[in-house]
């Protein structure tokens, strides 16, 4: 999936995102409070809507590409302004008790109408549906089994955010032993089929630790790439491996389902450092590098406050992945000078807000310099960037 253009309006909060166009690599820059994080949340809201959630007063319009088709999806929920804004939390916002009817919804593929909905009347490919569908759910959910509609939900399932990466402390090994035993013991499976099995695990919703363990065991080159990138950031590290215990009886561990762990070797240190002794920052970085490399083709990766997620030394990872012609899209936010200066100005989206209206413009719209350094110096002196928010 690739998001091409998005506009969004929260009628309840009177917060509007003017149409913003996205490329494969997008860096949202602007002062704190201008709305960068809220733009990412708007995208995640659409993911929730595609799953059948009902959102109070949300209106959206998105153009995106999925499997070589151009989709246009728009809609609006009714608005209940009497709801208490202060007491609402994210769990309540998407709870099953939310019963906000859809006022209208439109979906097209390559310019041809698939859904045209006005309240309860729904036209599917220009024919009025004889049955009544849920008034509070998008047709992307209620008609998700229709071949013309199922790709939309599949596409939105390919959106991941850094919020999902912070659950890295708990390690699960769901099905990992079955996978390894299958690959290890079943000699009748062809190499091509084994590779397809491995790729299915990589593209699944399994924890990233599980995927890393599998890649190490099957000697996948992707593990070496992740290790090399990790070592380039933490130069005191000379090696990374997966191990089950201090005796390193890997094969025995597989048969006994002994928990596996990640270990690193530092220069000047004679022993391997176990997961429990690796600094949280290093481990977090390793997991997030792995997340980027294991991302399935067509994934949209949302990274809020890049400097606090992957860290300032990791910005080149994204460029490397895109240079490898990976079908990925990155939408990241940052106000860190180092990050902004490291990213070409053609990727900047300068975010400003006037009252409740948020606008994101390209660097070229402000006539910034041709060189990266010149453009950066002009950006940090730009009134629209420094002031950012106005009444």
Residue 175's contacts (CB-CB under 8 Å, 6 or more residues apart) are 201, 206, 210
What mean pLDDT is reported for the chain?
Answer: 85
Integer-rounded Cα Rg, in Å, for the chain is: 23
Together in a domain, 142 and 171: no
Residue 164's contacts (CB-CB under 8 Å, 6 or more residues apart) are none
User: Does residue 103 sit within a domain?
Assistant: yes
Condensed to tens digits (0 to 9), the pLDDT of residues 66-98 reads: 999 999 999 999 999 875 554 455 544 544 456
User: Does residue 305 sit within a domain?
Assistant: no
User: Does residue 214 sit within a domain?
Assistant: yes
Residue 195's contacts (CB-CB under 8 Å, 6 or more residues apart) are none
Q: How far apart are CA 100 and CA 135, in angstroms?
A: 8
The answer to which of 56-70, 296-310, 313-327, 329-343 has the lowest mean pLDDT is 313-327
Residue 351 and residue 359 in contact, taking contact as beta carbons nearer than 8 Å: yes
Predicted pLDDT at 238: 96
> 8 vs 164, which has greater pLDDT?
8
Together in a domain, 278 and 339: no
User: Does residue 358 sit within a domain?
Assistant: yes
Give the single-character DSSP code of 4.
Answer: E
Under the banding of pLDDT at 50, 70 and 90, the label for residue 124 is: very high
Condensed to tens digits (0 to 9), the pLDDT of residues 250-265 reads: 555 555 555 678 899 9
User: Does residue 316 sit within a domain?
Assistant: no
- Residue 129, pLDDT above cutoff 90: yes
Predicted pLDDT at 110: 98
Q: What is the pTM of this model?
A: 0.86
Together in a domain, 205 and 91: no
**Domain edge (last residue) among 295, 310, 345:** 295
Q: How far apart are CA 56 and CA 79, in angstroms?
A: 5
Domain that residue 196 falls in: 166-295
Predicted pLDDT at 190: 82
For the chain, the domain total comes to 2
User: Does residue 61 sit within a domain?
Assistant: yes
User: Does residue 174 sit within a domain?
Assistant: yes
User: Does residue 53 sit within a domain?
Assistant: yes
Together in a domain, 52 and 122: yes
Condensed to tens digits (0 to 9), the pLDDT of residues 334-377 reads: 888 888 888 888 999 999 999 999 999 998 888 887 777 788 88
Predicted pLDDT at 179: 63
């Amino acid at each position: 999936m690739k998001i091409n253009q998005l506009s969004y309006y929260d009628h309840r909060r009177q917060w509007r995102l003017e149409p913003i166009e996205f490329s494969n690599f997008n860096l949202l820059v602007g002062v704190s409070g201008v709305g960068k994080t809220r733009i990412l949340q708007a995208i995640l809201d659409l993911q929730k809507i595609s799953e059948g959630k009902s959102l109070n007063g949300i209106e959206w319009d998105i153009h995106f590409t999925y499997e070589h088709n151009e989709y246009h999806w728009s809609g609006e929920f009714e608005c209940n302004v009497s709801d208490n804004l202060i007491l609402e939390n994210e769990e309540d916002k998407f709870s099953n008790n939310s019963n906000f009817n859809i006022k209208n919804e439109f979906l097209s593929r390559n310019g041809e109408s698939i859904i045209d909905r006005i309240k309860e009347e729904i036209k599917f490919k220009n024919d009025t549906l004889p049955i009544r569908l849920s008034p509070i759910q998008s047709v992307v959910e209620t008609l998700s089994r229709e071949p013309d509609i199922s790709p939309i939900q599949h596409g939105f399932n390919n959106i991941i955010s850094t919020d999902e990466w912070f659950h890295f402390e708990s390690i699960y090994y769901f099905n990992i032993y079955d996978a390894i035993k299958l690959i290890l013991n079943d000699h009748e499976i062809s190499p091509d089929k084994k590779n397809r099995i491995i790729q299915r695990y990589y593209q699944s919703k399994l924890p990233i630790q599980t995927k890393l363990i599998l890649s190490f065991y099957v000697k996948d080159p992707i593990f070496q790439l992740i290790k090399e990138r990790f070592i380039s950031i933490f130069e005191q590290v000379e090696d990374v491996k997966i191990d089950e215990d201090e005796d390193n009886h890997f094969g025995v561990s597989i048969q006994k389902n002994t928990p596996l762990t990640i270990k690193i070797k530092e220069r000047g240190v004679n022993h391997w450092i176990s997961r429990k002794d690796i600094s949280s920052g290093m481990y977090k970085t390793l997991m997030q590098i792995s997340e980027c490399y294991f991302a399935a083709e067509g994934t949209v990766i949302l990274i809020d406050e890049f400097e606090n997620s992957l860290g300032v030394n990791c910005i080149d990872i994204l460029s490397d992945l895109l240079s490898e012609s990976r079908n990925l899209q990155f939408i990241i936010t940052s106000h860190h000078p180092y990050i902004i200066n490291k990213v070409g100005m053609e990727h900047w989206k300068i975010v400003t807000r006037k009252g409740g209206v948020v606008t994101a413009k390209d660097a070229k719209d402000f006539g910034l310099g041709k060189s990266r350094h010149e453009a950066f110096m002009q950006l940090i002196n730009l009134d629209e960037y420094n002031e950012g928010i106005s009444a």
